[in-house]
Amino acid sequence: MAKAIEKLLSGSEAKAPKPRPPAETAKTGTATFSHESLIAKREALGFTQKQMAALIGASSLSVYKWETGKVTPRAAQLERLQAVLKMGVREARAQLANASAEEPA
């Protein structure tokens, strides 16, 4: 099929589309996202996807999609994810407690 396209474009330059990086290693700016590292960190913290979502400031559906590799986080979310991935257990639990305390009843 590619040869057929090249024949059609014989007068102009045929450019192959740039391959997109796989979801688990997508790059945005200087940060790199790996769905395996998100899963590993969430399990290390002992958090559910819902708790991890609250810590990141995203929906639990987003965390699910990121962990399955179906979707990569946007730049703003990626920055928050990188900050969470650097947290220790105590800091993450304290931040989650603060986030839960600030939610309206």
Confidence of residue 33 (pLDDT cuts 50, 70, 90): confident
Does the pLDDT value for residue 15 go beyond 70?
A: no
Structural domains in the chain (count): 1
In a domain, 73, yes or no: yes
pLDDT tens readout for residues 40-55: 999 999 999 999 999 9
Confidence of residue 31 (pLDDT cuts 50, 70, 90): low
In a domain, 2, yes or no: no
In a domain, 15, yes or no: no
DSSP 39: H
In a domain, 10, yes or no: no
- In sequence order, the 6+-apart residues with CB closer than 8 A to the CB of 6 are 14
Range of the domain at 41: 24-102
Measure the CA–CA gap between 85 and 45, rounded to whole angstroms. 10
In a domain, 92, yes or no: yes
For residues 60-84, average pLDDT: 92
Does the pLDDT value for residue 29 go beyond 60?
A: no
In a domain, 9, yes or no: no
Which CATH number belongs to the domain containing residue 60 in this structure? 1.10.260.40
Measure the CA–CA gap between 47 and 49, rounded to whole angstroms. 7
